[in-house]
Every structure is written in structure tokens, then in C-alpha cells.
Structure 1
Amino acid sequence: MDVAISALRAELASWVERARAGEEIIVTDRGTPVARLSAVDTARLLEQLTQRGILSRPPRAGRPTARGASRLHARESVSELVSEQRR
């Protein structure tokens, strides 16, 4: 399946879903193929990177927790605080 860059930009999420489902998408720029969009088998990729020594497995399974850390509560709107910081 071929898709123009402009169509890819306009509907990126749907094209990514199609690639995730196994379809190979060829991205074209004015009719010339420039890129390929395809699914990534992350399990296989992680295993390959582990075997090559680039990644290492965590010492224990599961999500890490923030032990002993208290939860922070904003006094104001967080979006307003972020906007103020950006000025």
C-alpha cells in the first residue's frame, strides 16, 4: 500500500494502526518511494538487544514503586503553572 506524505500526516494514527495490523506502508513524496512503515515486533527486538548486551533485564519483574515518597498536590491549576514557567 502506498501513501503520500500529506495523507500520512493527515491520518497518521490510522496508518500506524494499519502497520501494527501487519500491513506494510510505502510512504511516497511526489510519487517517489521514500520510506517504509511497518510493525515492529518489540518482543523480538528487546530479546535481540538483550542478547547483544545493549539492554539488560531488570533484577525483578513488575513496575517499580516510589517507596517513602509522599504524593505532591498542586495548589493551582497545573496547566497554569506550566504556562507561567514557559513565559
Structure 2
Amino acid sequence: MEVPVSALRAELKSWIERARSGEEIVVTERGVPVARLTGVATADLVTELTRDGVLSPPSTERPVHAVTAPDDVPSARPVGAPAAAARGTRPTGVAALVRRIRR
């Protein structure tokens, strides 16, 4: 579907909702296509990263902890040591996600 820039500005939220639902919106300026608005399939990325072992689903509900000062929390690994190296496994979490996106 095509929408002029002026209509897009006036009703941006409704056009974003249409794109989110899967519709492709072509933005025009004086009748000339200048941009395309489409939804982002974030759920598919999360599913793919979970399947590849980069992310893992939560195994239990997260416990609620009292806030403590950093000095009160014992270090799980030597200062400066990567978490994956301390565990002896391949990197997971945010570092692995960033590496995968950069490829």
C-alpha cells in the first residue's frame, strides 16, 4: 500500500501498526516512492538464536534479591577473565550475540 509522507506524519502510529501486522507500506513524496515501511520479525531472530544455542530460555522464575553493595558480592571469576573462559565453555550471551550479528 502507498501512503504520502504528509499522511504518514499525520497518522504515524496507525501506519506502524499496519506494518507490524505484516503489511508493506511504501512512502511516497509527490507520487514518487521514497521509502518502505515493513515490520521486523524479532521473534524469528530470538527463536533462531535459541535454536543455535546463543540464547537459552529461562529454566526457572528469576528470584528477587535484595540490593547489595558491589563489595558484598563475591567474584565468580578472576577480575578481567571472560565469563566463558572461567566456565571452560564457548562464549554465550550478549558477546556471542554481538559476534553473530557482526558476521
Cα shift at 1:18: 1.1
2 CA distance for matches of 1:62 and 1:5? 47
How many residue pairs were aligned?
A: 67
CA RMSD for the aligned pairs? 3.0
Say whether 1:6 aligns with 2:6.
yes
Alignment of 1:43-58 (within 5 A): 43-47=43-47, 50=49, 56-57=54-55
Give the gaps of 5 or more residues in structure 2. 69-103
- Higher Rg: 2
Give the gaps of 5 or more residues in structure 1. 71-87
- The runs of at least 4 consecutive aligned structure 1 residues that moved more than 6 Å come to 62-66
**TM-score scaled by length of structure 2:** 0.48
Equivalent in the alignment of 1:29 = 29
User: What is the identity percentage for the equivalent residue pairs of Structure 1 and Structure 2?
Assistant: 50
**TM-score scaled by length of structure 1:** 0.55
